[in-house]
Amino acid sequence: MKRILVPTNFSTQAGWAIEVATYLTRRSNAELVLLHVVEYPATESFDAEPEGNDLEHDVQGALLRKLTIRNRMYLNELESNLSAIGISVIKVIRKGNLLHAIKTVVFDYNIDLVVMGTTRRSKIEEVLDKSRTEQVVKFSQAPVLAVREKPSRNQFRNIVYATSLSSNGTALPEILTNAERLYGAKVHIATVNTPKLSRTANELEKEMEGFARKYKLENYSINILNDKSEDAGIVRFAERIGADLIVIATHGRKELSHEIQGNIPQDLVNHSSIPVLTYLG
């Protein structure tokens, strides 16, 4: 990885994301791109320059200008703290729509990984689909690592890779292959065998062993999970083995099941206290 993007609103959760990204940046000798977006109702985003514009002639514009100046100071302070410990930082501050800003920064700066802090959604938010992180997971062209709680450790050495084995042509994300090769990580390949998609254990074991050989995994385990819910089964398994990271392709419910309603990667991001890495499969 060459560049890791962390969108920050200076919250506690964003701080946890920076902590995780800092570890990954050090291990991969990458640059850390810090993005802050001063938001207002807009479908696009643009670079936030100190100079004024037409919007700043009204009350909303004046407020946005003050927020931009204040948050630029916060961003400068973050850069200074990270630079002091040897992290190479690129600062980006924009005005407008957060999702649009992330999308354009991923493209403009050739981002290899997005690391985002997130919070658990309420029931009504789940219905209204309000999670910013889940929206980024859904549309991002770069892998997204969602961090919902302060990690007990940043070393991703115990990784759950959730798959239906229905898309074996999908390349594994760089962070996963590097974790096994560079960090000595163990990859726990896991598939959920729901009642509606019941397959024999022998069939699944054969497919999973073939999957491990295909990607030349050496330190791995095979795990067949029997559960009514894919995301709940994965989370329970990951918690039971003390996993540091869950990895899943963003195929939505096609990745694990065509039958059960919902989007598995987004559900994992919302329900798992363990960091979740999603990537476009």
pLDDT at 185: 86
Torsion of CA 21, 27, 32, 36, to 10 degrees: 0
- As a whole number, mean pLDDT of residues 225-241 equals 89
Give the pLDDT score at 138: 74
Q: What is the pLDDT of residue 33?
A: 97
- Which of 47-51, 85-89, 136-140, 272-276 bottoms out in mean pLDDT, i.e. has the lowest? 47-51
DSSP-derived secondary structure for the chain: --EEEEE--S-HHHHHHHHHHHHHHHHHT-EEEEEEEEE-S-S-EEE--SS--GGGGSHHHHHHHHHHHHHHHHHHHHHHHHHHTT--EEEEEEEE-HHHHHHHHHHHTT-SEEEEE--PPPHHHHHHT--HHHHHHHH-SS-EEEE-S--S-----EEEEE--SS-TTSPPPHHHHHHHHHH-PEEEEEEE--GGG---HHHHHHHHHHHHHHTT--SEEEEEE--S-HHHHHHHHHHHTT-SEEEEES-GGGTT-SSS-S-HHHHHHHH-SS-EEEE--
269: confidence class by pLDDT, cuts 50, 70, 90: confident
pLDDT of residue 127: 37
Which two tokens mark 275? 């960091």
Question: Is 197 a residue whose pLDDT tops 60?
Answer: yes
Write down the mean pLDDT value for the chain.
Answer: 80
Q: What is the pLDDT of residues 81-108, one digit of tens each?
A: 999 999 999 999 988 888 889 999 999 9
What number is the average pLDDT over the span 158-183? 73
Place of tokens 């990607």: 215
What span, in angstroms and rounded, lies between the C-alpha atoms of 269 and 147?
8
Quote the tokens at residue 87. Answer: 């992290």
pLDDT of residue 218: 87
Q: Judge whether residue 256 has pLDDT over 90.
A: no
Distance of alpha carbon 169 from the chain centroid: 22
pTM: 0.82
Give pLDDT, residue 4: 96
Which of residues 87 and 151 earns the better pLDDT score? 87
How far does CA 255 lie from the centroid of its chain?
Answer: 17
The strand pairing partners of 115, in sequence order, are 145
pLDDT digit string (tens) for 49-83?
A: 655 555 445 666 777 778 888 899 999 999 999 99
Burial of 45-58, coded b for 16+ CB within 10 Å and e otherwise, reads beebeeeeeeebee
What is the set of domains in the chain, with CATH numbers?
Answer: 3-147 (3.40.50.620), 158-279 (3.40.50.620)
| Residue-level pLDDT at 53 | 56
Res 252 pLDDT > 70: no
Choice between 152 and 80, residue whose per-residue pLDDT is larger: 80
171 vs 125, residue with greater confidence = 171
- Grade residue 147 by pLDDT with cuts at 50, 70 and 90: very high
- Asked whether the beta carbons of 72 and 38 are under 8 A apart, the reply is no
